[in-house]
Amino acid sequence: MRFVDLIEKKKEGRPLSAEEIRYWIRGYVSGEIPDYQVSALLMAIFFKGMNPDETLELTMCMMHSGDVMDLSAIHGLKADKHSTGGVGDKTSLVLGPMVAACGVPMAKMSGRGLGFTGGTLDKLESIEGFRVNLERKDFVDQVNRIGIAIVGQSGNLVPADKKLYALRDVTGTVNSIPLIASSIMSKKLAAGSDVIALDVKYGSGAFMKTPEDAVKLAQTMIQIGTGMGRKVRAVISSMEAPLGKAIGNALEVEEAVRTLQGRGPEDLMDLCMAAGSLLLQEAGGAASAAEAERRLSEALKSGRALNKLADMVASQGGNRYQILHPEMLPKARCQTAIISDRCGYVHDEKAMELGSLAMRIGAGRAKKEDDIWNEVGIVLKKKPGDYVQKGETLAVVHHREMLTEEWKDSCRQAFIIAEEEPEVRPLIYEII
């Protein structure tokens, strides 16, 4: 087989055979097929797409390119949740403990933030002593003992995705539905859970810009998961504005704790309820969405969900008192208010812009090897639909170094304010 023939075939819009896809992934991981040829194939896929059989075959080949986790030692149906990424997205820190408190084991592998999006591991590491690397045996024991563990990817999980994702990132081929679906699902399937809730985002702060494309991506991932014998459901949600009010690692942990105390922002709570309800229906024996929501509400009200997070933190070496008393989390030396220079309704808050601004003051990384500062970030004081007076605070920036005037102006301009009252679209577009 010659790789150039695969490129030609895809360029003409013809489907690749299972054998050709296996040859591609095997040859690329082993280093026999060079980056420049794979880049050309990725671009052809970007324009011509892949049919469901090709996408499933690609996912399976990627999944089997490295280790596959065996979670059979964990009792019951194991649940996992995946978000396609966004700004202020601390859902895993709230949803995981809520679902675990309802008796569904959450065995979760999370990632780090890159660019304008945050990552659950970075958020958890803002808790003193928290360890994201557990031996497989300790991971399994912890899930059996307290019902939840959130860790980084261990071992050699899906090496094909590591290489392909890095190449897609620099060749303009990230936002292709079959490539995103196979990348995400190969990792979820290799991580070994039986039931997966996907939070597929659309909007200016997401890979998918429209809800229709987010639905297509979700359907593709559901088809792959179902084809591999897993139960997969999806929530389609907006990422036009950041989720909740806090952006930045320790600030987001604090917001997650307040949400578990029943004092969190409405959009975050709604999303956790929707995705949690899917997991309880598929893995927790809930007969309906109403029953699932009742059980989740009870776990919150009784304090069991918050205790679950504190137990997980303690079990992974972290300071549980920072969860029970979030005022003990790292605090920034400086706080600066961003003041509105006009009155009107907030129509939009540009998620990508605010995520990038938070990254620039140290809340995220531009390159993998950059350090991050746990305590810095942005707390939004207004959300879309709110009225703001001239001179009122739009956001409070928590920072370590001086903010430049250019940074403050960009932050102010991320809030789109106009006279007429906006029609605020619901956070959740569809549940599949």
Q: How far is CA 233 from CA 79, 80, 127, 255, 299, in A?
A: 11, 11, 31, 26, 22
Q: What is the DSSP letter of 57?
A: H
Q: Closer CB to ligand URA, residue 158 or residue 305?
A: 158
Of 107, 90, 65, the C-alpha closest to 191 is: 107
Kindly tell me which of 55 and 307 has the beta carbon lying closer to ligand URA. Answer: 55
Nearer to ligand URA, 183 or 220 (CB): 183
Q: Which amino acid is at 259?
A: T
Residue 180 binds to ligand URA (criterion: CB under 6 A): yes
Q: Which is nearer to ligand URA, 200 or 396 (CB)?
A: 200
In terms of CB distance, is 132 or 300 closer to ligand URA?
132
Closest by CA position to 124, among listed 135, 114, 139, 113: 113
Least distance between ligand URA and beta carbon 246 (Å): 22
The one-letter amino acid at 195: V
Residue 183 or 259 having the CB closest to ligand URA: 183
User: Per CB under 6 A, does 284 bind ligand URA?
Assistant: no
CA pair distance 275, 280, nearest whole angstrom: 9
Exactly one of 85, 88, 318, 330 binds ligand URA (CB under 6 A); which one? Answer: 85
Q: What's the longest Cα–Cα distance across the chain?
A: 67
Closest contact distance (angstroms) between CB of 3 and ligand URA is 22
Instruction: Report the C-alpha gap between 278 and 17 in whole angstroms.
Output: 35
375-394 footprint of ligand URA as x/- string (CB under 6 A) = --------------------
> End-to-end distance of the chain based on CA atoms, in angstroms?
40
Beta strands (DSSP E) in 54-194 are 79-83, 106-110, 148-152
Q: Per CB under 6 A, does 45 bind ligand URA?
A: no
Q: Closest by alpha carbon to 244, among 263, 228, 225, 230?
A: 263
Positions 86 through 145 that interact with ligand URA (CB under 6 A): none
Query: Both tokens of residue 269?
Result: 């709570």
Residues belonging to the chain: 432
- Rounded distance between C-alpha atoms, residue 70 and residue 151, angstroms: 15
Point out the residues that are catalytic: 82, 161, 168, 183, 187
Asked if 83 interacts with ligand URA (CB under 6 A), we say: no
Residues 193, 198, 199, 201: is their CA dihedral positive or negative? Answer: positive
- Using the rule CB under 6 A, which residue among 184, 246, 247, 332 binds ligand URA? 184
Residue (of 100, 52, 65, 89) closest to 219 by Cα position: 52
C-beta separation of 326 from 257 below 8 A: yes
State CA 353 to chain mean position distance.
18
Site string for ligand URA, 150-179 (x = CB under 6 A): ---------------x--------x----x
Nearest Cα residue to 111 out of 69, 52, 61, 152: 152
CB of 164 to ligand URA, least distance (A): 8
Q: Quote the least distance from Cβ 385 to ligand URA, whole Å.
A: 29
Give dist(CA 183, CA 169) in Å, integer. Answer: 12
Interface residue with ligand URA, options 84, 110, 126, 220 (CB under 6 A): 84
Task: Select the span of 180-188, 238-246, 259-267, 335-343 touching ligand URA (CB under 6 A).
Answer: 180-188
352 binds ligand URA (CB under 6 A): no
Least distance to ligand URA, CB of residue 155, Å:
17
85 vs 113, beta carbon nearer ligand URA:
85
Query: Binder to ligand URA among 92, 183, 220, 249 (CB under 6 A)?
Result: 183
What residues make contact with ligand URA under the rule CB under 6 A? 84-85, 165, 174, 179-180, 183-184, 207
